[in-house]
Amino acid sequence: MPPSKPPTKPPLSSLISTHDFAAAFPLAVPAKTVAFVTSAATDSLTCAANKEAYASITLRPRILRDVSGPIALSTTLLAHPVRSPIYAAPTSMGRTVHPEGEREIARGCVAAGVAIVVSTSASFAVREVLDVVGGRVPAFFQLYVDRDRHKSETVLREAVGAGVKGVWVTVDAPVIGKREADERAPLDEVEVTTPMSGAQAVRDAAGGGLGRIMGKYVDASLAWGDVAWLRGCLPRGMPVVLKGIQTAMDAVAAMGAGVEGIVVSNHGGRSLDTSPATILVLLELQRCCPQIFDRMEVFVDGGIMRGTDVFKALCLGAKGVGIGRGTLYGLGYGEEGVKKYIEILNDELETTMRMCGVTSLDELHPGLLNTRAVDHLIPSTVDEEHPFAKWRPSKL
Ligand SMILES: Cc1cc2nc3c(=O)[nH]c(=O)nc-3n(C[C@H](O)[C@H](O)[C@H](O)COP(=O)(O)O)c2cc1C
Ligand SMILES: CC(C)CC(=O)C(=O)O
């Protein structure tokens, strides 16, 4: 028998759902890249829960509301206009997927008219990515704070000089999560450097985990007091967003720290396994501290695969919805793939809106959802009376 030919990736024109993109991804990139991108922390429970929780929330469609007119998806993110609330979440090392990495993601975002968040661990310097953007869509900078703060200050100066519209500090990864698939997959298939963090992929005694090795520079000493340090590094008026909020208590603390936004995120389940699904955290914020939605912009990411997921997040107060792995699945097909991935979600969102009797984003509200199936999972208060807040290790 002749050896069977390895399967080739299907043509872009044949992909009609985000799941089709996810299935095609392993056929488009090296095995190491698949392991790095798709892996999550330990048992991947949070990664799965992010998706499952969306399925547990059902819609309450309203009928006979003349939804024949155009649907307005355009909105603003931190006051910058975009064609859709969907944005490319920061993802590192884009060259593991495509030779043009984040520059190609940027082209796809420009074509779709959506915002991009550029990672400190991008394969290109922030200016090289913003040169592609050319001011046509808002670009934000995701900061991993370096243990050498001078390096972070330099990177921030470069990002501001390049024209980013805000800084998103990642706060859910003081150390990098244990991703076993990434650790096991041999490192020799890919050559990776990240110019802004100055890291290089070299296998060490613990294994070949790209995330862990390339994230060694991240400063675990980061604390609330550092928001003031960050402000001092930025021009007046530059928005600061904390990415990785997972409790109402920390959302309230973020509001107290005076930041302009938060991202409800658990890093796509890549950081701490069994941390809660992000849509449930958004629901917790609605229940425990609804005032924050008037004071800050709240974004969410993690597990979003359908327009109905986007719709649910927006109904619960999200101003924007980030796509992490999906952007990279799209990138497997270059700029056109990124654009198509976003447009599939936009189309599904439009359909969901019409079916639910609304034609503009400002008509979305929690009453369009039934959350009864998950209500028992939501902590109901942020104050010190809450059993979680009272729990102390000394009780063990
Ligand atoms: C391959 C990969 C690299 C990532 N790199 C970063 C990063 O450099 N900085 C960051 O804040 N988040 C990073 N994230 C997390 C994403 O910004 C986002 O929170 C997450 O992917 C959302 O979940 P989703 O993949 O289910 O959409 C990364 C995620 C992936 C999959
Ligand atoms: C740790 C970084 C280098 C990348 C990252 O955030 C990720 O892989 O999730």
What gap in Å lies between CA 110 and CA 82, rounded to an integer? 10
Selected catalytic residue, list 19, 98, 150, 267: 267
pLDDT at position 396? 33
Report the separation in Å between the CA atom of 225 and the middle of ligand 1, taken as the mean of its atom positions: 25
pLDDT at position 191? 76
Report the separation in Å between the CA atom of 173 and the middle of ligand 2, taken as the mean of its atom positions: 8
What are the DSSP E strand ranges found in 43-135? 58-59, 75-77, 80-82, 86-88, 116-119
Indicate the length of the chain as a whole number.
396
Chain centroid to CA 139? 14
Ligand 1 in reach of 346 Cβ (< 6 A): no
Query: Which of the 8 DSSP states describes residue 185?
Result: S
| Residue 285, helix vs strand vs coil | helix
Nearest CA to ligand 2 atom 3: 215
Ligand 2 in reach of 39 Cβ (< 6 A): no
Ligand 2 in reach of 214 Cβ (< 6 A): yes
Ligand 2 in reach of 94 Cβ (< 6 A): no
Backbone angles phi, psi at 184, to 5 degrees: -80, -35
Nearest CA to ligand 2 atom 8: 211
Nearest CA to ligand 1 atom 21: 324
Summarize the annotated binding site for FMN as residue ranges: 119, 142, 170, 243, 265, 324-325
What gap in Å lies between CA 345 and CA 28, rounded to an integer? 21
Which ligand minimizes its atom distance to the CA of 37? 1
- Contact call for residues 190 and 32 (beta carbons, < 8 A): yes
Report the separation in Å between the CA atom of 68 and the middle of ligand 2, taken as the mean of its atom positions: 43
Summarize the annotated binding site as residue ranges: 119, 142, 144, 170, 179, 243, 265, 267, 270, 324-325
Q: For this complex, say whether ipTM is above 0.95.
A: yes
Report the separation in Å between the CA atom of 2 and the middle of ligand 1, taken as the mean of its atom positions: 41
Which ligand minimizes its atom distance to the CA of 266? 1
CB atoms within 10 A of CB 36: 28
Written as six digits, the tokens of 353 are 């809106």
| Residue 242, helix vs strand vs coil | strand
What gap in Å lies between CA 321 and CA 319, rounded to an integer? 7
- Contact call for residues 193 and 201 (beta carbons, < 8 A): yes
pLDDT at position 251? 94
pLDDT at position 223? 95
- Contact call for residues 280 and 378 (beta carbons, < 8 A): yes
What gap in Å lies between CA 195 and CA 181, rounded to an integer? 25
Tell me the pLDDT of the chain (396 aa) as tens digits: 666 777 899 999 999 999 999 999 999 999 999 999 999 999 999 999 999 999 999 999 999 999 999 999 999 999 999 999 999 999 999 999 999 999 999 999 999 999 999 999 999 999 999 999 999 999 999 999 999 999 999 999 999 999 999 999 999 999 999 999 999 999 986 679 999 999 989 889 999 999 999 999 999 999 999 999 999 999 999 999 999 999 999 999 999 999 999 999 999 999 999 999 999 999 999 999 999 999 999 999 999 999 999 999 999 999 999 999 999 999 999 999 999 999 999 999 999 999 999 999 999 999 999 999 999 999 877 655 544 444 444 433
Angle (CA) 290 316 294, round 5°: 40
Please say if 98 is a catalytic residue.
no
Element (H, E) at 370: strand 369-370
| Residue 77, helix vs strand vs coil | strand
Which among 313, 388, 344, 270 has a CA at the least distance from the CA of 53?
A: 313
Report the separation in Å between the CA atom of 327 and the middle of ligand 1, taken as the mean of its atom positions: 10
